[in-house]
A and B are shown apart, each in its own frame.
Chain A
Amino acid sequence: MSTLFQSFNLSDWVLDLWILATASLVAAACALVGVFLILRRQALMGDAISHSVLLGIVLAYLISGTNALWVMLLGAVIIGLVTAWLSETLHKVSRLQSDASIGIVFTLFFSIGVILVSLYTGQIDLDQECVLYGEIAFVPFDTVIWGDMETGTDLGPRAFWLILIVFAVVLISLLVGFERLKTVTFHPSLAVSLGINITFWHYFLMTLVSMTTVASFDAVGAILVVALLIIPAATAYLLARSLKTMLWLAVAYSQMAVWLGYAIAFWLNSAIAAAIAVSAGLLMGLTLVLIQLSKQYHKRTHAHPLRQIKD
């Protein structure tokens, strides 16, 4: 009896570990691409793509009939790029503001996705709740099995492998293309004058955003992924003096949010993803307050000698 109890406890702990590992990778990947979205003032585009990839996933599934990882990724990337391209075209052709065009395109795509999900509920392993909010607690139960369904080895959660692959792709892309991404982000017209193809780099970044959001889907859903894309990167922006430190800080903040959020969820017995998003917000608020306080402290220490002179 006691051995049974122990092994049960151990597998419980393993579940927690899978959840935490998945959440950490999701948060880190989102933070990295989020930095570029923030600096390029395209935070809304991140929001848009994170929603429209739903349509990509559903279409990919309906067309191919499988839910293999690479099919989902491909569907999401294609729809993500179409979202970026269509928003820009709408903005140019109709002369609507660019944020309005983005809002029109992604809500349309997302709604079509929702309709398809409700039409084919029986066939698609997605429900509307899950799409919107995700459920990271269920992540460990949907596993990848190597070999036969009955006898094969369990390799661990599907969501974990998906985000691991995507995180690796994002990391390698940033390492290899770092200098170009920096130039294109900092000063597009300079980049053009140097002969750099900024359109390519724009869509390259949108590809990374699409992959990241689709991989984050299972874990945190379409709404909360936006929090992870924007908040850690925005917090890092408040502090960073170079692009490299901004990337490191964003990842550090995202990891702190994951740990803090997990603790809060455990304590309140609440939804994990939401608790992570709230923690990211809390950390941002705390950082803002600390920055303001240190500014005032500096002002006071600098003003002090002057006041003495006046007296």
Chain B
Amino acid sequence: MSNQPPLKVDQLSIRYHHKPVLTDVSFEIPPGQTVAIVGPNGAGKSSLLKGIMNLTPAIQGKVQFYGRTLEEKRLTTAYVPQREEIDWDFPINVMDVVLMGRHGQLKFWQRPSRCDRQIAEQALKDLKMWDFRDRQIAQLSGGQQQRVFLARALAQQASLYLMDEPFAGVDVATEKTIIELFKQLKAKGNTVVCVHHDLNTVGEYFDHVILINARLIAAGPAHQVLTQANLNKTYGGRLSLLNDLTEQMYRSRLDNAHPGD
């Protein structure tokens, strides 16, 4: 595309009801990598993504997409919000949700074309959800709902993907599918930025890590950033406790997935 980074954040600050959520966050993301935004609860991870997408007003700072503004690069940027954000009882089927990923390219009076449908079909197949295309979204499991969201982002055919906790509360099969998707996207030179909460899998799933807790703690390649000192700074003294907890949760989830073991 160009030698500009896919995403460059410059001194971004966000407040919510006059309380500072994020202060003076700056970083740059290299192209073609998977990037995790990691931090404790309430650290401002989701706010950071929303601030980048201009869904939450920033009080200061500049965000550049391939060296351009968001308005110029909307169609190459796909945002995947948290699953809780929408009404899953909404009368709509899987295919229609995925087709919404094509709306950026359509004028308001246009219906999705055959070509748009083919793109949506491929996205659903990539996420192993094609068989569910006619299901109403209320009749899906949590993991399947997440895959529908990801298929919609994929149908947008963006080059930068911003995802808010795609691994939260999903089953093992979905987790594997998402990892598969990451590989696919990387192979095409696309960039994936995820809010992630599971410290046990960060190093395995992501190339690049951004640690935040109201401010930027560290940003860089995963193996350089994920040091005990940095994690202590991010999570304060609670890290050892937190680590035990996440490990326990991870174990119990594995046990649930393979009850016979």
Contacts and interface: CB of A to CB of B under 8 A. Distances in A.
B85 A177 contact: no
B111 interface: yes
A9 B54 CA distance: 66
Contacts of B74: 193-195
Q: How large is the interface on B (under 10, 10 to 19, 20 to 34, 35 or more residues)?
A: 20 to 34
Contact of B91 (A180, A191, A193, A245): A245
A190 B79 contact: yes
Nearest to B79: A193
A242 B91 contact: yes
A179 B81 contact: no
B230 to A, nearest CB: 31
B109 A176 contact: yes
A194 B103 contact: yes
Nearest to B54: A192
Contacts, number: 75
A191 B93 CA distance: 17
Contacts of A189: 55, 79, 81, 85
Contacts of A43: none
Contact of B110 (A179, A190, A243): A179
B104 interface: yes
A195 B71 contact: yes
A187 interface: yes
Given A177-B109, A241-B136, A183 B100 contact: yes
Contacts of B110: 179
Given A180-B103, A193-B55, A243-B92, A187 B108 contact: no
Contacts of B90: 39, 186
Interface in B58-110: 71, 74-75, 77-79, 81, 85-87, 90-93, 96-97, 100, 103-104, 106, 108-110
B91 A243 contact: yes
B182 to A, nearest CB: 20
A177 B104 CA distance: 14
Contacts of B111: 178-179
Given A179-B103, A179-B106, A192-B55, A242 B79 contact: no
B129 interface: no
A191 B185 CA distance: 23
Nearest to A187: B86
Nearest to B90: A186
A192 B103 CA distance: 11
Given A179-B108, A180-B108, A186 B103 contact: no
A178 B55 CA distance: 24
Interface of A: 39, 176-180, 182-183, 186-187, 189-196, 237, 240-243, 245-246
Given A193-B78, A195-B71, A195-B75, 11 more contacts: A177-B108, A179-B106, A186-B97, A187-B86, A190-B81, A192-B53, A192-B55, A193-B53, A194-B74, A237-B91, A242-B91
Interface of B: 53-55, 71, 74-75, 77-79, 81, 85-87, 90-93, 96-97, 100, 103-104, 106, 108-112, 136, 152, 156
18 contacts: A39-B91, A177-B109, A178-B111, A179-B106, A179-B111, A182-B96, A186-B92, A186-B97, A187-B85, A189-B55, A190-B79, A190-B81, A190-B152, A194-B74, A194-B104, A241-B136, A243-B91, A245-B91
